[in-house]
């Protein structure tokens, strides 16, 4: 049975910024379609969604909807909060007039809890990520005939993403989604719209089949171009031989050959651009110390104040011990507010522990990709962003590259090098920030949600370059496939200062959690005789008497060495010591190096015994 048509765009021309984005564009949306909209950054995905909503008008063509009308819900990229408006009020306004009653209040509550939204929080007090979650909640509550979601997984933790997948499986309307999360798209879609060079290519299968299907189309196009090239070559050869006593029909044929050759040239150029990939520089980190950072009994918390004025302590770390070694590849997971950002701030020296120590290694060169893109100034041009000190060249891994050539590696048109950053799409801004960070990544690379808004091609190239990076890598991400491809350890921030370490990528973490869950549930069962047995404690490796004695005495030794370091530093800080007592100065200088080495060895030994 044919599905009912709910919206149609026919022979449309759409311009953006005075430039034609789509010409002769036609497509249909049917009831029950679950479409993933894919395409490179700047291909017009967001503009197409605005065309569907009717916000972006067609320059030519027709937008058709059923005479009875249709409701369209759209996840807004930007939300402008109103003074005094609560989260509940904002979401509740998404319900139409007929459903603004007590019978439908459950829908608001149903979406707020898993998205970690509090009904009485003021919209003006929310962070950017919280505003995005509120906008998502409102779009879901509307329960429209057509639901358009533009990067819905941004700012969601893994639990939130899994909940959204389940929610969308039960959604009965027509869905169109843009997302960088391959696993998410594979789980929710049954059709593909591929925006390619101003046209839509349609596949009647979900995103799981995209790679196979798109490769087939590209190979087919390559064969057709090769066939056309041979035909044009034969025609050109005929024309070059010359024809005696040319007549009008021969002149006309030569004109057709010229047009065919020009069309072939344009199509080949278009094809080459479509298969061009981002060219990322080879990352060659400099040498660093073996231990880059140590958390030694580190504790951290902060006070959170609710809208009602109630204050409560949020624990981030509590007596946390962890060592970052050169070459570690660690993925960081956790709910929003669980402490991931605070942990990273301590790691880069921007914040301090409330108690305990965080020791940073020598020769540590950190490059930090911030998901807020704070290093990008919207008022500056692409050129100024990559060459902040002026000039025409970018230092890329010790080599000078012209800024236009380097921008081209990241799929930017050199003609746009003087454009403002503010004119770029979200994905293009991420590519620009990657270009800036990866020019000289240092020996410690921290990427905070780097996959947000990136197209599939750039994402795959980033995975490829990171897999060969020899430095230390930290990635904060909720993109499951991306973590599986890039990291070998997981640090899971579970909340309330509970931080667990797992070996492997996201899939290994998921398996470990699944295996541990049945054991936990068994310990929580109540016995029939109403006797509650104590859950068996986790069996730990018992240290030998000698190792236990060493562990018990190490804190006292570490404290003594730290005190000695302070005393020696106090001596050497006296500018008169060398002239008045050169022998003591020489002795203190030598002992300073020794005691620092002893302190580092003692701390390392304490961590080793603690892990055992």
Q: What is the pLDDT of residues 86-138, one digit of tens each?
A: 998 888 887 777 777 776 777 888 888 888 888 888 888 887 778 888 889 98
The predicted pLDDT at position 611 comes to 64
pLDDT category at 533 given cuts 50, 70, 90 is: very low
pLDDT tens-digit readout, 262-306: 777 777 766 666 656 656 566 666 666 788 888 989 999 887 665
pLDDT category at 537 given cuts 50, 70, 90 is: very low
300 three-class SS: strand
Does 351 have pLDDT greater than 80? yes
* Dihedral pair phi/psi, residue 471, rounded to 5°: -80, -165
Does 535 have pLDDT greater than 60? no
Query: Is 199 or 268 the better-scoring residue by pLDDT?
Result: 199
Does 176 have pLDDT greater than 90? yes
> What number is the average pLDDT over the span 192-210?
91
> Please, are residues 295 and 322 in contact by the beta-carbon 8 Å criterion?
yes
pTM: 0.65
The predicted pLDDT at position 308 comes to 61
pLDDT category at 48 given cuts 50, 70, 90 is: very high
How does DSSP assign 380-401, residue by residue?
A: SBHHHHH-TT-SSEEEETTEEE
> What number is the average pLDDT over the span 429-433?
86
**How would you write 305-350 as a 3-class SS string?**
ECCCCCEEEEEEEEEEEEEEECCCEEEEEECCCCCHHHHHHHHCCC
The predicted pLDDT at position 313 comes to 81
> What number is the average pLDDT over the span 304-327?
79
Q: Which of 144, 4, 9, 3 is nearest to 64 (CA)?
A: 9
Does 523 have pLDDT greater than 60? no
pLDDT tens-digit readout, 204-246: 999 999 989 988 988 888 888 888 888 877 777 766 665 544 5
pLDDT category at 469 given cuts 50, 70, 90 is: confident
CB burial of 356-365 (b: ≥16 within 10 Å; e: otherwise) equals: bebebbeebe
Does 457 have pLDDT greater than 70? yes
426 three-class SS: helix
Percentage of the chain beyond pLDDT 70 is: 84
* Dihedral pair phi/psi, residue 525, rounded to 5°: -70, 145
- Report how far residue 569's alpha carbon sits from residue 563's, in angstroms, rounded to the nearest whole number: 10
pLDDT category at 35 given cuts 50, 70, 90 is: very high
- Angle of helix 105-112 relative to helix 128-142, nearest 10 degrees, comes to 140
Query: Is 270 or 378 the better-scoring residue by pLDDT?
Result: 378
Which of 85-89, 167-171, 247-251, 287-291 shows the lowest per-residue confidence on average (mean pLDDT)?
Answer: 247-251
Which of 58-67, 80-89, 125-134, 414-423 shows the lowest per-residue confidence on average (mean pLDDT)?
Answer: 125-134
CA-CA distances (angstroms) from residue 215 to 204, 209, 275?
16, 10, 10
């Amino acid at each position: 049975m044919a599905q009912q048509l709910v919206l149609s765009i026919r022979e449309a021309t759409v311009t953006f910024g005075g430039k034609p984005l789509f010409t002769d564009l036609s497509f249909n949306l049917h009831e029950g379609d679950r479409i993933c909209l894919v395409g490179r950054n700047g291909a017009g995905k967001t503009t197409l969604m605005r065309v569907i909503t009717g916000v972006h008008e067609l320059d030519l063509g027709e937008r058709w909807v059923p005479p009875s009308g249709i409701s369209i819900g759209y996840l807004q990229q930007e939300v402008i909060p109103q003074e005094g408006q609560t989260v509940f009020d904002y979401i509740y306004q998404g319900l139409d007039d007929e459903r603004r009653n007590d019978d439908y209040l459950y829908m608001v509550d149903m979406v707020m809890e898993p998205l970690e939204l509090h009904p009485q929080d003021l919209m003006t007090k929310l962070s950017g990520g919280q505003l995005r979650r509120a906008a998502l909640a409102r779009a879901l509550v509307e329960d429209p005939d057509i639901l358009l979601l533009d990067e819905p997984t941004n700012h969601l933790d893994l639990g939130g993403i899994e909940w959204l997948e389940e929610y969308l499986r039960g959604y009965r309307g027509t869905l169109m989604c843009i997302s960088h999360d391959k696993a998410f798209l594979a789980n929710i879609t049954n059709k593909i719209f591929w925006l390619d060079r101003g046209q839509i290519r349609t596949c009647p299968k979900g995103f799981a089949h995209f790679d196979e299907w798109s490769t087939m189309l590209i190979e087919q196009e390559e064969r057709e171009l090769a066939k056309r090239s041979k035909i044009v070559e034969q025609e050109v050869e005929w024309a070059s031989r010359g024809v005696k006593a040319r007549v009008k029909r021969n002149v006309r044929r030569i004109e057709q050959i010229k047009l065919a050759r020009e069309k072939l040239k344009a199509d080949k150029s278009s094809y080459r651009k479509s298969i061009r990939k981002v060219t990322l520089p080879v990352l060659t980190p400099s040498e660093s110390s073996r231990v880059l950072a140590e958390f030694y009994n580190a504790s951290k918390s902060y006070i959170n104040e609710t809208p009602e004025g109630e204050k409560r302590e949020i624990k981030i770390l509590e007596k946390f011990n962890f060592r970052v070694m050169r070459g570690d590849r660690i993925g960081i997971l956790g709910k929003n507010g669980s402490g991931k950002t605070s942990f990273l701030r301590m790691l880069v020296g921007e914040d301090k522990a409330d108690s305990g120590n965080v020791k940073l290694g020598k020769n540590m060169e950190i490059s930090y990709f911030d998901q807020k893109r704070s290093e990008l100034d919207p008022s500056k041009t692409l050129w100024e962003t990559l060459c902040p000190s002026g000039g025409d060249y970018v230092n890329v891994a010790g080599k000078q590259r012209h800024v236009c050539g380097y921008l081209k590696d990241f799929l930017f048109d050199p003609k746009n090098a003087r454009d403002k950053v503010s004119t770029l799409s979200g994905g293009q801004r991420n590519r620009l920030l990657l270009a800036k960070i990866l020019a000289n990544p240092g020996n410690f690379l921290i990427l905070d949600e780097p996959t947000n808004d990136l197209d599939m091609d750039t994402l795959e190239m980033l995975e490829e370059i990171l897999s060969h990076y020899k430095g230390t890598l930290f990635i904060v991400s909720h993109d499951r496939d991306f973590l599986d491809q890039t990291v070998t350890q997981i640090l899971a921030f579970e909340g309330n200062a509970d931080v667990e370490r797992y070996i492997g990528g996201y899939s290994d973490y998921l398996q470990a959690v699944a295996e541990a869950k049945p054991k936990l549930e068994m310990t929580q069962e109540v016995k029939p005789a109403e006797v509650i047995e104590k859950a068996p404690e986790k069996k730990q490796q018992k240290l030998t008497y000698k190792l236990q004695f060493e562990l018990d005495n190490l804190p006292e030794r570490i404290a003594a060495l730290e005190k000695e370091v302070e005393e020696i530093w106090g001596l050497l800080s006296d500018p008169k010591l060398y002239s008045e007592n050169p022998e003591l100065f020489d002795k203190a200088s030598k002992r300073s190096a020794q005691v620092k080495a002893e302190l580092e060895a003692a701390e390392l030994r304490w961590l080793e015994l603690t892990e055992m």
